[in-house]
Amino acid sequence: MTIRIYDLAALEDDRLFSPYCWRTKLALAHKGLAFESIPWRFTDKAALEPTGFKTVPVIVDGERTVGDSWKIALYLEENYADRPALFGGPQSRALSLGFKNWVDRAVHLPMLRAVLLDLYNGLAEKDKPYFREAREKRFGMALEAFAGDQQAAIATVSSTLDPVRATLTEQPFVCGSAPAYADYILFGAFMWTRSTSPAKLLAADDPLHAWRERMLDLHGGLARKARGYPV
Ligand SMILES: N[C@@H](CCC(=O)N[C@@H](CS)C(=O)NCC(=O)O)C(=O)O
């Protein structure tokens, strides 16, 4: 049965931009599971209410509803254990949790600053007041002030990712010779920026750029086919 995923959309139904939803969709594709996106917007709180969750992604797999991208990854690994592994064992799962926390806390912030104003301008009109109010409360300043200097934010993204760059000069994927969940964690962030902004975050000769190209091609070009900017 096709798994349904509540998937954050901008103005257009197919401009799906949540980094967490992208992790989940790539994890589903990795497991070879068919899924269908349900476009969801920040102000569609009522649509999410029956699931019991307040953020996306949420997946509905038959009778089971699971929220939070990390919990979904654990659920998929446990319940579809006969399919390709997202982690491959408890040690790699534990390391992936550390990698996730690093991406969420150290990588997302400069990435968001680099694309924030484009992201905001591309939202559905009904979401704009909610987004501005919620994020200005979170950041303690106006969106424009938080975004700051875009080139400085892009430089911070690049320096923050230097350890991954070094890794990708030794091996084609974060997880080694083939992609797995840690790759999807970081790549989800690049789908966030790609779907919302034409900003160029990576130079063409950056090993991260080559990795992102490989990721865009995975699973029949799932990510490359998605609506976004050619970055
Ligand atoms: N830790 C959660 C984070 C999910 C999350 O923050 N999702 C955002 C979209 S990227 C959301 O649904 N936000 C709702 C809101 O801001 O009202 C996960 O990994 O799934």
- Contact, 23 vs 188, CB < 8 A? yes
Name which of 6, 8, 15, 7 is nearest 197 in CA terms.
15
Q: Is 56 in the pocket of ligand 1 (CB under 6 A)?
A: yes
Same domain? 151 vs 194: yes
Average pLDDT value for residue range 23-35: 98
Task: Examine the fold and report which residue of 25, 47, 79 is the final residue of a domain before the chain moves on.
Answer: 79
Same domain? 116 vs 33: no
Q: Is 130 in the pocket of ligand 1 (CB under 6 A)?
A: no
Sequence-distant (6+) residues with CB within 8 A of 197 are 114, 115, 118, 119, 229, 231
Q: Is 6 in the pocket of ligand 1 (CB under 6 A)?
A: no
Same domain? 121 vs 186: yes
**Owner of token pair 């799962």:** 93
Say what the pLDDT of residue 17 is: 98
Say what the pLDDT of residue 1 is: 85
Which CATH number goes with the domain that contains 19? 3.40.30.10
Q: Does some domain include residue 231? A: no
DSSP per-residue codes, 111-127: HHHHHHHHHHHHS-GGG
Q: Does some domain include residue 143? A: yes
Domain of residue 112: give its range: 90-221
Handedness of CA 166, 112, 124, 100 (dihedral sign): positive
CA–CA distance, 34 with 80 (Å, rounded to integer): 13
- Indicate the number of domains in the chain: 2
- Other Cβ atoms closer than 10 A to 196: 24
Torsion of CA 188, 60, 81, 179, to 10 degrees: -10
Say what the pLDDT of residue 216 is: 98
Residue 107 per-residue DSSP state: I
Asked whether residue 231 carries a pLDDT value surpassing 90, the answer given is no
Q: Does some domain include residue 226? A: no
Q: Is 193 in the pocket of ligand 1 (CB under 6 A)?
A: no
Instruction: Kindly report, residue by residue over 48-76, the tens digit of the pLDDT.
Output: 999 999 999 999 999 999 999 999 999 99
Using a pLDDT cut of 70, give the percent of the chain over it.
Answer: 100
Average pLDDT value for residue range 174-199: 98
Say what the pLDDT of residue 76 is: 98
Task: Pick the residue whose CA is nearest to atom 5 on ligand 1.
Answer: 55
Same domain? 193 vs 115: yes
Instruction: Tell which atom from ligand 1 comes closest to the C-alpha of 70.
Output: 19
Residue 85 per-residue DSSP state: P
Q: Does some domain include residue 114? A: yes
Which CATH number goes with the domain that contains 111? 1.20.1050.10
Q: What's the Rg (C-alpha) of the chain?
A: 17
Handedness of CA 227, 171, 100, 153 (dihedral sign): negative
Average pLDDT value for residue range 92-111: 98
Say what the pLDDT of residue 14 is: 98
Average pLDDT value for residue range 86-114: 98
Instruction: Kindly report, residue by residue over 172-184, the tens digit of the pLDDT.
Output: 999 999 999 999 9
The chain-wide mean pLDDT, for the chain, equals 98
Q: Does some domain include residue 137? A: yes
Same domain? 106 vs 56: no
Say what the pLDDT of residue 83 is: 98
Q: Is 55 in the pocket of ligand 1 (CB under 6 A)?
A: yes
Average pLDDT value for residue range 186-205: 98
Same domain? 56 vs 99: no
Same domain? 157 vs 194: yes
Same domain? 73 vs 95: no
Tokens of 65: 């509803």
DSSP per-residue codes, 58-74: EEEETTEEEESHHHHHH
CA–CA distance, 150 with 214 (Å, rounded to integer): 26
Same domain? 130 vs 202: yes
Say what the pLDDT of residue 213 is: 98
Q: Does some domain include residue 230? A: no
